[in-house]
Amino acid sequence: MSKHYSVGFSISTDKIQRFSVFFERHAMFFLSVILSSVSLVAFMVYYFNGFGLAYNDARSHLDIGRRVVEGLKPGLAQLGSVWLPLTHVLMVPTVWSDFMWHTGLAGALQSMISYVATGLLIYLFLRELGASMIARLVGVAIFASNSNILYLQSTAMTELLLLATMTAGAYQLLLWYKSDNIVFLIKSSFWIMLSTLVRYDGWFLFGFAALLIFFYTIYQKGYWVAEGTVVLYGTLAGFGIGLWFLWNALIFKDPLYFIFGPYSAHAQQSQLEAAGVLATKGDWFLSLKFYVYALAYNSGAFTTVLGFIGAFVMWFNRRENIRVRIASAALIAPFLFNIIALYLGHSVLFIQGLSGDTWFNIRYGVMMMPSLAIFIGYLVDRVRPMRGLIIGLLFFVMFFSITSNDIVTIDDARVGSSQKNVTEVSSWLTRHAKDEKGFVLISAASHDAIIFSSGLPMKKFIHEGTGAYWKSATESPDRWARWIIMRTYSEDDSTWRFVSRSSGFERYNLVGTYPFADIYELKPEYMADLQTDAVLGKQK
């Protein structure tokens, strides 16, 4: 370069090194501060624009947590079945507060903490892979700036908690592979155990990691050591699964209730299959296609492509330690799980354009986000001449992602099958039932969103989980329920199923008909016999 007519300044190698060391030493702190700030800002944005509670499932999760601490029959049994319990258990310390309940913060808090934790784990994972500081920061940035991740971390959904626990499990597994220190395997087991209590994706990771551990150990140390290692791992990591079977056996008298019960995914999928909309069942290609689309819509098509290239580079890089390559295979567990689940019909995805005009469960595509971030960070590190170009192109796409407001999980929440605009029903309840005595008979399984949105205390509602109250109210609704909320003529609504067969139903007026439910109110002449206090006391 010509130095004619140029000005410049220099930075000494010594200063740069000192800065690098300082930054390296405090990187986790800086990242924690930055990620926490971003998390908080994102939560506030979605709280104030109302999207934080758009997901029907988010409202249900919050209600489940609330029912544990408040209601006609509070207690751990309210954790229910089908949905794994960890999310709701973690809400218990805060959800007793009406503010924490109704803002969604009781659930969002764990998502936000998980968001920060996952970002840090990505950094650590890449550090263990020997990636440079820039590559680590790129990996974290890819995850942290993803608009769907930012949205979901502001909600009371389970995805971020699952990502954090799974990534922690994969990270500790990597450390075990590298060091052969059993403590890391125990830690990995712990985190995977937690993931098995968040979502069933964790169960797949449990099995997948077991295979990785077994086949690696048998190759390195022989069968008996492999067997012992897998038993140790399986006992710890599978503890949560065992607990869940036990829970279902104790509470619902059937250890497989969560699989085959009336509110299980299996039941839901059976209905969908009967309606002819379970397109991916039995079709590998379609299952792969649907999930790749979900992946691309959540993570970005370009990010997905780069991620797969990064994975390819990592796994076929002969200069990379074989242990690292095997350990990092745990990162594709979510990808395999979702495709297998779609193929078996245990999961359903509606992709706009592929399966009609709506979205459903599109957020499942976000499960690979930490993995893709790690793969891309690795790619950026290993293909150094292209580093600037890759980062430039990623920023380019991110720019348009922001300007075009490309957040598919919000679309899913707002216009897909995951949304329920129950404002009319809940507003009616708030106006008419808030300051009046009397219970509301409602199916929580069908109308949790109404319960949440009404703003009324949980003890105002008689639902399936209230034991004797529910039994009594469904047999004699006119003695227990001043209002009944149900979908008339829908056999899927358990309230309708029981109440329509009760003679007491004749004593109600239909006072409102709305898209998701109808409202019935007890006729005034029967109010004298109505029970308005919680007289059944503590139930076992």
Partner 1 sequence: MGALGDALYANTGNINMKKEKIITIIFFVFVALVLILGIRGIVGNPTTETINNPIWTSDGPLELSPDRGRFSLMYSIAEDHSVKFSLPIARFTTPDLGISPKGEYVSLFAPGVSFAILPGYYVGKLFGVSQVGAFAVIALFALFNAGLIRAIAMRLGASIYAASFGALAFLFASPAFAYAVTLYQHHISTFLILSSMYVLLRWRGWWGISYIWFAIVLSLSVDYPNLFLMLPLGVWAFSRVVWFEKDSHGFQFQISLLNILTVVSVVLPLAFFLWYNAAANGSPLQLSGTLKRAEAIDEAGKPVQPQLARILGLAELDPNRKKTAIGFFHSRNLLNGFYTHFLSLDRGVVNFAPVMLLGFFGLYYVFKKSITAGKVLVGIIGFNILLYSMWGDPYGGWAFGSRYLIPSYAVLGIGIAMLLEYAKKQYIILLVCMALLSQSVWIGVLGAVTSNRNPPQIEILALEKISGHEEKYSFDRNEQYLASNHSKSFVFNTIGYRYMNAPTYRALIAGLVIAMCALLLGGLLFDKQKEKQYE
Residues within the interface to partner 1 (CB under 8 A): 1-16, 293, 296-297, 300-302, 305, 353, 385-386, 388-389, 392-393, 396-397, 400-401, 403-404, 406, 408
Instruction: Report the residue number, 274 or 404, with the smaller CB distance to partner 1.
Output: 404
Instruction: Report the residue number, 177 or 360, with the smaller CB distance to partner 1.
Output: 360
Maximum Cα–Cα distance for the chain, whole Å? 100
DSSP track, 147-199:
HHHHHHTTTT-SHHHHHHHHHHHHHHHHHHHHH--HHHHHHHHHHHHHHHTT-
Minimum Å distance from CB 16 to partner 1? 6
| Rounded Cα distance, 400 and 381, in Å | 25
Q: In what order do the strands lie in the sheet with 439-442?
A: 461-462, 439-442, 481-486, 518-522, 508-513
Instruction: Report the residue number, 387 or 471, with the smaller CB distance to partner 1.
Output: 387
Minimum Å distance from CB 533 to partner 1? 54
Do 166 and 333 contact (CB within 8 A), yes or no?
yes
Angle between helices 133-144 and 369-382 (to 10 degrees): 150
| Rounded Cα distance, 452 and 95, in Å | 12
Tell me the pairing of strands 481-486 and 518-522. Answer: antiparallel
Instruction: Report the residue number, 407 or 458, with the smaller CB distance to partner 1.
Output: 407
Minimum Å distance from CB 531 to partner 1? 53
Minimum Å distance from CB 27 to partner 1? 21
Cα separation values, 479 from 518, 521, 530, Å: 20, 12, 5
Do 326 and 212 contact (CB within 8 A), yes or no?
yes
| Rounded Cα distance, 151 and 357, in Å | 22
Do 239 and 193 contact (CB within 8 A), yes or no?
yes
Q: For residue 429, what are its two tokens?
A: 């309840």
Do 62 and 107 contact (CB within 8 A), yes or no?
yes
Instruction: Report the residue number, 219 or 399, with the smaller CB distance to partner 1.
Output: 399
Instruction: Report the residue number, 135 or 326, with the smaller CB distance to partner 1.
Output: 135
Minimum Å distance from CB 119 to partner 1? 21
Report the Cα 404 to chain-centroid distance in Å.
25
Fill in the DSSP letter of residue 75: S
Interacting residues of 436 by C-beta distance below 8 A, sequence separation 6+:
482
Burial call 501-515: b when 16+ CB within 10 Å, e when fewer:
eeebeebbeeebebe
Burial class (CB in 10 A: 0-12, 13-18, 19+), 20: exposed
Instruction: Report the residue number, 16 or 246, with the smaller CB distance to partner 1.
Output: 16
Instruction: Report the residue number, 215 or 400, with the smaller CB distance to partner 1.
Output: 400
Instruction: Report the residue number, 15 or 437, with the smaller CB distance to partner 1.
Output: 15
Minimum Å distance from CB 3 to partner 1? 7
Minimum Å distance from CB 1 to partner 1? 6
Length of the chain: 540
Minimum Å distance from CB 281 to partner 1? 23
Minimum Å distance from CB 375 to partner 1? 18
Instruction: Report the residue number, 16 or 468, with the smaller CB distance to partner 1.
Output: 16
Minimum Å distance from CB 334 to partner 1? 19
Interacting residues of 457 by C-beta distance below 8 A, sequence separation 6+:
70, 98
Minimum Å distance from CB 438 to partner 1? 47
DSSP track, 240-308:
HHHHHHHHHHHHHS-TTHHHHSTTSHHHHHHHHHHTT--TTTT-HHHHHHHHHHHHHHHH-HHHHHHHH
Report the Cα 532 to chain-centroid distance in Å.
37
Instruction: Report the residue number, 148 or 153, with the smaller CB distance to partner 1.
Output: 148
Instruction: Report the residue number, 147 or 347, with the smaller CB distance to partner 1.
Output: 147
Minimum Å distance from CB 306 to partner 1? 11
Cα separation values, 290 from 237, 308, 333, 340, Å: 30, 17, 17, 12
Minimum Å distance from CB 9 to partner 1? 6
Instruction: Report the residue number, 13 or 540, with the smaller CB distance to partner 1.
Output: 13
